[in-house]
C-alpha cells in the first residue's frame, strides 16, 4: 500500500493590523528569514508567491509525519519571534491508498479555521 502525500497546509502571515509583516521595513523581517522546525529539525516549506485574492505572500508545507496524527511545528519568524503551529489530521488507510485529512489547526494554542474562500490559514505574528 503506497501512502499518498496529503494536501499542503497553506498560510500567510499578518501583523496586528492585518498587513503583511514583510511590507514594513521597521520590522526587519524578510520572507527568506522564515523557518519551520518539525521535531527539532529544520523543515522546508514552499514559497508560492503573492495570491491576489489575499494580497499576501503564501507559504505552503506538508507537515504530516506518517506515524502520528498530530504534529507541532515551530514557526521562526526571526531570532526573537517563534510561534507554534499545531496541526491535527486523521489517517484513513484504504486497500490501495492512505488518505490524510486535516482535522484541526492551532496557532499558539488558539484554534484556527481555514479561510473559506482560499483554504489558507491567517497567522498573526506581530
pTM of the model: 0.86
Query: Which domain does 51 fall in, by range?
Result: 2-124
What DSSP letter does each residue of 27-59 carry, written as one string?
G---GGG-EEEETTEEE--EEEEEETTTTEEEE
Q: What percent of the chain has pLDDT over 90?
A: 40
Residues 91 and 30: their CA atoms lie apart, in Å, by: 35
Q: What is the pLDDT of residues 61-120, one digit of tens each?
A: 888 777 788 999 999 998 888 999 999 998 888 888 777 889 999 999 999 999 999 999
Residue 1 has pLDDT above 50, yes or no: no
* Predicted pLDDT at 6: 67
Question: How big is the chain by its Cα radius of gyration, in Å?
Answer: 15
Q: What is the pLDDT of residues 71-85, one digit of tens each?
A: 999 999 988 889 999
**Residue labelled with grid coordinates 484541526:** 104
**How many domains does the chain fold into?**
1
Residues 104 and 16: their CA atoms lie apart, in Å, by: 23
Amino acid at each position: 500500500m503506497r501512502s499518498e502525500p496529503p494536501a499542503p497546509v497553506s498560510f500567510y502571515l499578518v501583523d496586528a493590523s492585518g498587513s503583511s509583516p514583510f511590507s514594513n521595513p521597521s520590522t526587519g523581517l524578510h520572507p527568506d528569514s522564515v523557518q519551520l522546525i518539525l521535531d527539532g529539525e529544520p523543515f522546508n516549506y514552499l514559497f508560492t508567491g503573492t495570491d491576489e485574492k489575499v494580497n499576501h505572500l503564501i507559504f505552503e508545507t506538508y507537515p504530516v509525519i506518517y506515524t502520528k496524527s498530530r504534529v507541532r511545528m515551530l514557526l521562526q519568524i526571526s531570532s526573537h519571534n517563534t510561534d507554534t503551529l499545531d496541526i491535527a489530521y486523521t489517517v484513513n488507510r484504504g486497500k490501495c491508498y492512505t488518505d490524510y485529512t486535516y482535522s484541526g489547526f492551532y496557532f499558539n494554542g488558539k484554534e484556527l479555521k481555514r479561510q473559506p474562500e482560499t483554504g489558507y490559514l491567517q497567522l498573526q505574528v506581530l
